[in-house]
Amino acid sequence: MFYVIKHVKEEGAGLFTDKMNNMKIIMAESMDFPDIREEDIVVIMGGPMGVYEKDKYPFIELELEFIRRCYKNGAKILGICLGAQMIAEALGGKVYKGHVKEIGWYEITHTNFAKKDKAFSVFPEKIMIFQWHQDTFTLPENAVRLAFNSNYENQAFTIEERVYGLQYHIEVTEDIIKEWFPDDYNKYIDKAQLDLLRLYAYEFFQKFIK
């Protein structure tokens, strides 16, 4: 079973939706987190809230506990943007506000560990990806850094090659960008980059879920 944890309706699984059979969407604010088995796959999406805003968003603490249970039960977990921050915080890292906002297309560089990783080895050393965040995080003790750029050293990480946290939006599509930026989406739509990212994203996801 695929479980997609959403924090706002505008941030869904995007490109990955077509790759998920038996998908169940759960809104985090419902605080109705399921019991997860080893064979399940959990995809945690983005959102505008900060992991440190627990007083404002009561579901955050419950979601962190849910992630810990998923990890303990052996499930595969993929976190995107806020989802990556949630994973980092839940498993021993720390989320905090960064020094610069990244909105739009930014280049990231993959580490030597990424070249050997079962899922991340599909990516080239450098690639342009879509960002929309300012918060960042430290890595959990047992995590391995997979990508970085000049603004933030932790752009992607893995734990045991079954948990992945991506600070950026690998799931993004042209329609998603139009929904996120209705007044100036032409500023952010780059069809060539979207087409290239789609190819790598599909291949990554296929290897992740195997």
The catalytically annotated residue of 7, 110, 133, 169 is 169
- Our answer to whether residue 70 is catalytic in this structure is no
The per-residue DSSP string of 48-111 comes to SS-TT-TTT-THHHHHHHHHHHHHHTT-EEEEETHHHHHHHHHTT--EEEEEEEEEEEEEEEE-
**Which of 7, 63, 81, 110 does the annotation list as catalytic?**
81
- Please enumerate in sequence order all residues whose Cβ is within 8 A of that of 182, keeping only pairs 6 or more positions apart, or say none: none
Query: Any bridge partners for residue 158, and if so which?
Result: 144, 164
Cα distance between residue 111 and residue 120, in whole Å: 10
Question: Quick check: 179 and 10 in contact, CB under 8 A?
Answer: yes
Is 171 considered catalytic here? yes
Of the listed 11, 89, 102, 171, which one is catalytic?
A: 171
Give me the active site residues, please.
81, 169, 171
